[in-house]
Structure 1
């Protein structure tokens, strides 16, 4: 190499250039400064909520990786370990999640522990080995309700009179229920309205549409109670969706319209079984 000093200089230049690029990339993915704080939190839940709020603004979701509580055993201590939702090892044979997120062993870690009656935490690793999301709106994990929101929802639901569509808040309830591939149902959306106007239904269904990350055309079938305003909005928001009516409401109308035409109890029972 002594006979070719320019090669030695070129190699050193290339190495320093690559090393500098590496440091820049690491710096871009390091968010330690965002979570560095001397703040003392009144509870474990408030610590987690603070961390998740910062993470949400940055574009990633935080999950509890591990936690423990002191039970009197000397080797056990109360702590909580938080990390990026992409912290686990990617398994190629596993179906991707609804959000499309793939695990990539992200090293981001925060460790929280009690301090007297309060909680504190420190950043163990503030680096992410992946790009952060531009937005997390519609993400199934961050869409979960917090404790306060759950309490409000339970309170409003308990106050609901489904017969007259009234509650102590004087709001109407729209409830959207979905069915899984194995026939199980789950509540997808709650919406409280001041009135059954078309713009209210449109707003609710547009928000619902934003949650359907894997369905470009929307649900294949929607079953309603034949609320004409709602049905018109469904046609506008989900034009490719086929609409059907609840059997319960069909039979309710049959009873209301045909009861006066059938005066024989046995004949009526046979009609209701059809």
Structure 2
């Protein structure tokens, strides 16, 4: 025997000796490999022999440490597990018995049996069933470490490690996209999953610069609920560093749904115009948005005004206060900051312009003694130019249905990134995750519709709302119940309701409910009455004659010179057969926004998604923590001074309270 003649196989002399007849070659090989693993050895199928028809008739099994390493030393440190082990088994098909039999040629190993098989690459390979499980769990966005745990739960004898899972996932991905460019893979994914999509390319290089896409399910929900748009951009989602625009909407049951998505090259007005124009084109005969909420991204705001000029434009209150916190929080003590937060909320919740002036004058008076820089910042940055876009006195004049922040789209950013698990994803991978999110949203929306139709909530048992039950959403009924609860408080304080619920949400306000007459469906905005996904049409003529349009296009192409005809046909061919598209993948963007990778940089810069942020000036108390929640004890002390009365919030029951001044109705307020 080679390698010094050491014999490590005597104690296993009879392990492979068997008279068993195997039905096939795979059964024989599996049996031999299993016997070897039981005894600490890894056997591999070294070679096989076939007959004239290509059928395997003989197979050789050897130790995985057999053979001699012939490699040469290189810069990279390498090694070999080969020891020249001459262990050998032969499996042969025997006609006499009509099956396969195993013969032991050499039962001796020149090395010790392994105590653990974890270091043997062959033993660590995934079998067919395990590979299939990896594929299934990968499609469900499960993390590799969780996939490995599932594989080991299925097969306790598995010795694979995390690297095997990563390699298997990569092979599966390569196998699915064989011969396709990244753009071909993306277009194929979009077309296969019924997306409506548009691209913008560089005419000279055919490099894709922007991609807009909307899922068919999102398209249907969007056309049913085009009333509200929430738009925001996020970063660090793809390997090209392209900003990722997410547009979401809200249903009558206050469920969030993804409207559309876009990868853009730059955050400029023209880029946003291109995205919004593509979005508008999907509406066709449907009504346009009535309100759009964004952060203070001027390019996006201007684009919204150009494409949807009739929509009310609101700024996200949450982003505004976060920005104020970054600039002003260090100059306040903790108790003063709590008081400021409360007084600021009173200012932005002011019900009328006069009440706003009064509330702001009180805030100004309090800040004037020690925080004059804060006054200047609030005035110059927010109130002078933008108060009509976030103060209740102005925004509640339009139907906003209680949507005053972009928190819903921020939540979609978070949901997508948790699903992606990385920042360098391919575009088709992101699309795949979007599909799963959209499907989940659709299920939740349909469920909420049915609950509003069939469930009668106990707190809705009011004869005044009898005609509405089952015909409008539970959210609308909750708002009406809250509004009715205000009546006694308004009477006691000799105040008017201001009709804010009617002007902002399209629901009967307290002065209407005071009559105690039954509320009819005609008094409720169509937004709340809609509990299905039928398009919200402005007229019943849905769509144009597509066949007639197609005929006109064909005739137009036929009349063109051959060079022009060829150019047009290449574009049509690319759209119809995306897997043959010759477009090139986007270039990697530089200097894009996003959270810095280094902790020290993170401390110096603003949060990545808050595009309304500007760098703050240095002030004292920089080490104090930011506290953005008004302390209840401070609130109670202020209320004890009888400076104001808190009425239950009715525009959005999740955002807290509406605050109005007591007895303002007949008072003359002195403005600052």
The TM-score with structure 1 as length reference comes to: 0.50
Of Structure 1 and Structure 2, which has the larger fraction of its residues in helix? 2
Look at both structures and tell me which one has the larger radius of gyration over its CA atoms.
Answer: 2
Of Structure 1 and Structure 2, which has the larger fraction of its residues in strand? 1
Which one scores higher on RCO, CA 8 angstroms, separation ≥ 6? Answer: 2
